[in-house]
A and B are shown apart, each in its own frame.
Chain A
Amino acid sequence: MPNMFTLVLQIAVVLGVCRLVGNLFLKIRQPRVVGEMFAGILLGPSLLGWLAPRFSAVVFPSESLGFLSALSQIGVIVFMFLVGLGINPKELKSQGHSAVLTSHVSITAPFVLASFLAIYLYPRLSDNSVAFTSFALFMGAAMSITAFPVLARILTERNMLQSRLGTVAIACAAVDDVTGWCILAYIVLLIRAANTGNPVWLTVGGLIAFALIMIYGVQRLVRRFESIYRERGQLSDNLMALILLLALGSALCTEWLGIHLLFGSFLMGAIMPRDTKFVRYVLDRFETIVVTLLLPLFFAFTGLRTNVGLVKGSEMWMYCGLIVLVATVGKLGGSMVASWWAGMPLREAAGLGTLMNTRGLMELVILNIGLDIKVISPALFSMMVLMALATTFMTTPVLEVICPDRVIRGEAEAAAREPLEIKQMELSPAGD
């Protein structure tokens, strides 16, 4: 049994600090979630445990962290369901070559660069219980992810959601998320299969069968929820509980099949009906408790596992700097070059690259999986958390330099006039 006093104290401290730091970050035009991620680090051994080790040991005794972990994991399971729910397949389908190319390059460029960096980091930050292939693939997947929810929030706060840049960024991030999670699922599957000795084909076969059941069986059931919502304008508590049960059940199935709980909840979200009002209704019902209570616990738990003290000495900080550099060059540079090649103006392409470089919360989710399956070491975990913070933090200020508000407004107006301009585009007069 958990010590309830300690657990409630932990929750109170985490919520208080996350709210406080989140509000401070809002004042410097950063999304609240970046502040909450930062608050998690402050509560861990990197600051609180270093400055006040006795107080830290009283509030976060090591034997109590299992309960905090369990609560935070439940939060992330529901959060991943909401991420899947928020992804609109129409956004994936409706975008043209530009978005397809940009999204694919924004995965391959950081993936390849990260794998190349893995050649350097593997002998220095890993050990021989981890295979190089697993290490390199994990580094690639971790660096190629984009935080779809944080990106959407930044675009909303800057009134860019309806702009051409905003719509392309959202579509690319959606493709990135789906692709990134598929790649990660494959990596986790390989590692777990190697550890347990189960044949990979058995897990893959089971996963395909499970996905088919979800798409052709469960999806039909959940479509009824949408019909009921249309008829009544709301869903009963029983139906909301059933949706939650299905998300948890799906999570259990993917865990049992040998990948991870989070893939199941993401899949459940992704097969939910896509009616905008229905999606908004379900999101509203779950979002408050997840965003205000459970995600801060996840940030705190991640912060408690992050020990910046492990990044010790100039050599280790150089590795950390390299990781931030490679992640930024791969993601920002890759997306920028691809979208520019596809015909986007240079400034807009740079803006898109900056947006795609937002990793935020999704990165933390992936890194925690990596640490759980021991494919990355605690020091590398801490460096990657710092990279996630740095790349997410830099998005808003860099975007303000590259794409100031007046430019975004101007380009939105220009985009509205574009069809006419194409028809009347002048070439150089003959003979000039």
Chain B
Amino acid sequence: MGALDLFAGCPTVSMGDKQVQVETSAWKECLVTKSNSRFAMAYVFLVALPVLGLAGILRSGRNLAAPISVGGAWEVQVDAGKLAALPCGKSVAADLATGFAITQSGKNFTLSFANRPAASTGVLEGTRVGATVSPSAVWASEPGCGDHRLVSLAATVNTQANLRSLEGNLTVNDCPSCSPVEFRAIRKDQTGSKGVH
């Protein structure tokens, strides 16, 4: 049987030395009453109280803060001339020409270009964005550029502007003589808050 014995306490009749439950109208009535009260009790404990708990969870969760949103397609503004002067610069400029897309999951994100689905992974710390772009096959064909070259992207998210923007630098790793190139990116799809707070 389950948690409670449904039949306990309902009328019985004597049959020799044993007490036996027989399907009488009083027995049926007892059974229905007990069944209903047990159902009501179970419903309160297992359904109603958890639903109240859910309301509490939703209320308390409203104060939680999640990382700022950087997901979406970004349009990049960069001095192509300065970038081309760097090792791998022409390839990077070609990749950036069509902008990039960020797919965000909490603090982590992947950065992709039109022709490269997951070119980089990065981390968001507060409003600081950092990512390292790995070289593509095209990069390797550029003189002075090879598999070992990585390009770092460091930027700050401007959350004040109407259009969310990124402002920062692109640097080529292992190249002390190369000076960072400034860039600016503007998010194309300015998605608002999804759902009720």
Contact = CB atoms under 8 A, between A and B. Distances in A.
B68 A343 contact: no
A338 interface: yes
A341 B3 contact: yes
A129 interface: yes
A379 interface: yes
Contacts, number: 198
A130 B2 contact: no
A127 B187 CA distance: 16
A128 interface: yes
Contacts of B71: 127, 129, 374, 377
B175 interface: no
Interface string A307-322: 0011010000000000
A191 B194 contact: yes
A256 interface: no
Interface string A121-155: 01111111111111111001000000000000000
Q: Which of B20, B65, B71, B195 has the most C-beta atoms of chain A within 10 angstroms of its own C-beta?
A: B195
A229 interface: no
A101 interface: yes
A119 B50 contact: no
B52 to A, nearest CB: 9
A55 interface: no
A45 interface: yes
A341 B12 contact: no
Interface stretch (A35-43, A386-394, A422-430): A422-430
Nearest to A100: B39
B39 A427 contact: no
A408 interface: no
B18 interface: yes
A97 B105 contact: no
B19 A124 contact: no
B192 A129 contact: yes
B161 interface: no
Interface stretch (B53-61, B140-148, B165-173): B53-61
A382 B19 CA distance: 60
B81 interface: no
Interface in B36-89: 36, 38-39, 42-43, 46-47, 50-51, 53-54, 57-58, 60-62, 64-71
Interface string A270-291: 0000000000000000000000
Contacts of B2: 339-346, 349
A97 B14 CA distance: 31
B33 to A, nearest CB: 13
A378 B12 contact: no
Given A194-B194, A425-B20, A426-B18, A127 B50 contact: no
Contact of B117 (A45, A128, A140): A45
Contacts of B194: 129-131, 134, 191, 194-195, 373-375
B86 to A, nearest CB: 27
Contact of A126 (B6, B19, B66, B70): B66
A380 interface: yes
A3 interface: no
Interface string A103-129: 011001101100110110011111111
A337 interface: yes
Given A123-B66, A133-B197, A377-B104, A429 B19 contact: yes
B106 A125 contact: yes
A195 B192 contact: yes
Given A140-B54, A310-B105, A101 B110 contact: no
Interface string B91-128: 00000000000011111101000000110010000000
A194 B196 CA distance: 6
A346 B103 CA distance: 46
Given A190-B195, A194-B193, A344-B2, A115 B57 contact: yes
Interface residues of B, number: 57
B60 A119 contact: yes
Interface string B148-180: 000000000000000000000000000000000
A111 B68 contact: no
Contacts of B64: 119, 122-123, 132
A378 B103 contact: yes
Contact of B42 (A116, A123, A309, A341): A341
A343 B3 CA distance: 6
Contacts of A62: 117
Given A132-B62, A310-B105, A191 B195 contact: yes
A126 B12 CA distance: 61
Contacts of B35: 97
Contacts of B21: 422-423, 425, 427
A428 to B, nearest CB: 8
A379 B47 contact: no
23 contacts: A100-B39, A101-B46, A104-B47, A109-B46, A118-B57, A118-B61, A119-B60, A122-B66, A124-B106, A126-B67, A126-B106, A130-B193, A131-B196, A133-B195, A134-B195, A190-B195, A194-B192, A338-B46, A340-B3, A341-B38, A375-B195, A377-B106, A425-B21
Interface of B: 1-4, 6-7, 12, 14, 17-23, 35-36, 38-39, 42-43, 46-47, 50-51, 53-54, 57-58, 60-62, 64-71, 103-108, 110, 117-118, 121, 191-197
Given A132-B64, A425-B21, 12 more contacts: A111-B50, A119-B61, A122-B64, A123-B64, A123-B66, A127-B66, A127-B71, A137-B58, A341-B4, A342-B38, A424-B20, A429-B19
List of 3 A-B pairs having minimum Cβ-Cβ separation, nearest first: A134-B195, A379-B105, A129-B69
